[in-house]
Amino acid sequence: MTPAKRISSRNPFIYGRPVKGKECLCREEALRTIFNRLRNGESTAVTGEPHIGKTSLLFQIADPETRKEYLDEDDRQLLVANVDLLAFGDQDSPATFWQEALAPLSGLRVQSIKTAQERAAQSGYSRQPLETLFRRLAERGYLLVLLLDEFERLLKHPNFKDPAFFAHLRGLATRTGGLAVVLASRLSVSDLNQMGRGLLDTGSPFFNQMANLQLPPFGDDEIEVLLARADPPFSDDEALFIRRVAGRNPYLLQAMAAALFETPASKERGEKAAEAFYQRAATQYFDDLWGHMDDDTRTIAVILALQELGGRALGNRFNFGEIERVDRYGPELQKLAGRGLAERLEARRRGWIWDGKNLLVWRGQRWGLACAAFSWWVRDVVVASARPLPKYDEWLKQKKYIGLLTQKQWDDARALLRKVPASALRGVGALAKSLWDEIVQSRQV
């Protein structure tokens, strides 16, 4: 593996945009569920954390080859409109929404559908003409599938405050047989319903007709398939290092793999790649993620991060004591697992097992941090205060974490970490080197 070969090879790891076509990784179970529902004309809400792959999944649904693979002959009657809600400005309205949504119908040569579409446009896309249009589509065996990414933006748009628009959209999708919606949002269906009640001043749940399909972080099989794309291939130690630094989040995995792929071979390769990854992707990601965590989840995330950081730097001298067995941790640990930040030690398998000392015990289950980079982020904003983060500082000052920790436990933990030798915490590179050395040594035992 020479630097020249690395430079001349195409980097197969993409994290600056959604992946498309053959770039996309698996998600076969999610695609199978969505396409099976589309066969029955049913709508689906794809939900999950930022950068978990929601937009990429919508691109897969829009891809003709993917539709042919999952639907075979049925795909001939499927019309797909990928409406870009991110591009909607203040001037856009329900009329412009329907103009974009109905664009795929322009290629149909069915006069009854053409006539119905023209009448819908002339009416300003009012309720009855649109219902007639979608019934005509269903009669001729067509189904229009609306792909709506970042759907919560539509709920916040000033020109979509009328509950009638969303009630009409739901009615068209449930009663006509000619329309199905696949939306993507970081909010669950329950959260979208609650948001609709608040913003639209109505008690009616608009989105209950949708199945909530939550995208999980990558599993072991998907991680192996992803990392196997490197040519020349990563070594076992390199693959474990990527996995250990980035956790299970697809975006972080792609970003860390890309950084290591682009870093020339040297003794410091892992450290340099980790520093590049942290600066280019991880810091911004964690800053954004922090703003979307509730206070209890923030607390548990920081506890896990401090255990990871303190245990690696201070060994057995760092211990949270009795708080390791607090019963209240369960829901927060599950939320962090859904973000790819935490995982049960018992769930780790194959070559992914590492350091079993820095754990949190909850009802007999042993949990650890899945993403070492998050502990580096916590080190920056909590321990070293190298990167002031207003939302983090405010949370600490308000002491909202006291519901899970006592003030003394928290202060003792931070005080102990502040005694960590400068050589151990002088930067991300030093932390990455410690992790790399641990991985190499564990494989030599």
378: amino acid identity, one letter: V
- How is 200-245 classified by DSSP, letter by letter? HT----TTTTSEEEEPPPP-HHHHHHHHTT-SSPPPHHHHHHHHHH
311: amino acid identity, one letter: G
Pairing mode, if any, of strands 78-83 and 342-344?
Answer: unpaired
| First-to-final CA distance of the chain | 26
Distance CA 216, CA 338 (A): 6
Distance CA 128, CA 390 (A): 50
Predicted pLDDT of residue 4: 40
Kindly report the backbone phi and psi dihedral angles of residue 343, in degrees, each rounded to the nearest multiple of 5, phi listed first: -160, 155
What token pair was written down for 177?
């047989």
Predicted pLDDT of residue 322: 44
Query: Quick check: 207 and 170 in contact, CB under 8 A?
Result: yes
pLDDT tens, residue order, the chain (445 aa): 344 444 457 899 999 888 887 777 768 899 999 999 999 999 999 999 888 999 999 999 999 989 988 987 665 689 999 998 988 988 999 999 999 999 999 889 899 999 999 999 999 999 999 999 999 999 999 999 999 999 988 988 999 988 889 989 999 999 999 999 999 998 889 888 888 777 666 666 788 889 999 999 998 889 999 999 999 999 999 999 999 999 999 999 999 999 999 999 998 999 999 999 999 999 999 988 888 888 888 888 887 887 777 666 555 555 555 444 555 678 888 888 888 888 887 655 444 444 445 555 555 567 888 899 998 898 887 766 666 677 777 776 665 555 566 667 667 766 766 666 655 556 788 888 888 888 887 766 5
Predicted pLDDT of residue 356: 47
Predicted pLDDT of residue 397: 66
Predicted pLDDT of residue 296: 80
Residue 437: count other Cβ atoms within 10 Å of its Cβ.
11
Predicted pLDDT of residue 353: 46
Residue 212 bridge partners (DSSP): 45
Domain ranges in the chain are 26-214, 218-445
Predicted pLDDT of residue 120: 96
94: amino acid identity, one letter: P
Predicted pLDDT of residue 202: 62
Predicted pLDDT of residue 5: 43
Query: Quick check: 248 and 370 in contact, CB under 8 A?
Result: yes
Predicted pLDDT of residue 333: 85
Q: For domain 26-214, give its CATH number from 3.40.50.300, 3.30.1490.100, 3.40.1350.10, 3.30.465.10.
A: 3.40.50.300
Distance CA 51, CA 249 (A): 8
Q: In the 3-class helix/strand/coil scheme, how is 42-96 assigned residue by residue? A: CCEEEECCCCCCHHHHHHHHHCHHHHHHHHHHHHHHEEEEEECHHHCCCCCCHHH
